[in-house]
Amino acid sequence: MASTITSLNRNTDFRRTYGRGKVYTSPALVTYVAKSSAGICRVGITTSKKIGNAVERNRSRRVIRAAFRAVLPQVEGKWDIVFVARNKTKYLKSTQLETIIFNHLKQAGVIHQ
């Protein structure tokens, strides 16, 4: 069971997760999940300029981080997870994104219930 959020930092880690990971999509969020090569659970969040200005992109990242933090105690195993914000993300609250993240991670087998 994971307890803290460790960030994905290197571009190669992001690319590996995009290439080898499974993809789960919704209108508000895209989730890439792959087995971790580092032996720990790591998370990356990306927001493109299509989302909006810096304030909107930062808000999207903040909301995704808060939603994942609520789901984090249920995460089992060693995974690399990348969340890609979509245009609708900036309009949602973290509780709404929490259900989306939970469903994506459950489909991926990261959460067992």
In a domain, 70, yes or no: yes
In a domain, 96, yes or no: yes
In a domain, 51, yes or no: yes
Please report the pLDDT score of residue 43 as a whole number: 95
In a domain, 12, yes or no: yes
Q: Which structural domain, as residue segments, surrounds residue 97? A: 6-108
Confidence category of residue 27, pLDDT binned at 50, 70, 90: very high
Please report the pLDDT score of residue 3 as a whole number: 57
Please report the pLDDT score of residue 1 as a whole number: 47
Q: How many domains does the chain have?
A: 1
**Percent of the chain with pLDDT strictly greater than 70:** 96
In a domain, 53, yes or no: yes
Cβ atoms of residues 104 and 79 within 8 Å: no
The domain that holds 57 is classified in CATH as 3.30.230.10
Please report the pLDDT score of residue 77 as a whole number: 84
User: What is the Cβ-side half-sphere exposure of residue 45, based on CA atoms within 13 angstroms?
Assistant: 20
Please report the pLDDT score of residue 5 as a whole number: 73
In a domain, 82, yes or no: yes
Q: At residue 60, does pLDDT exceed 80? A: yes
Strand ranges, E, within the chain: 6-7, 22-25, 29-35, 42-46, 79-85
In a domain, 1, yes or no: no
pLDDT in tens, 69-96: 999 999 888 899 999 999 999 999 999 9
In a domain, 113, yes or no: no
Please report the pLDDT score of residue 91 as a whole number: 94
What is the value of pTM for the model shown?
Answer: 0.92
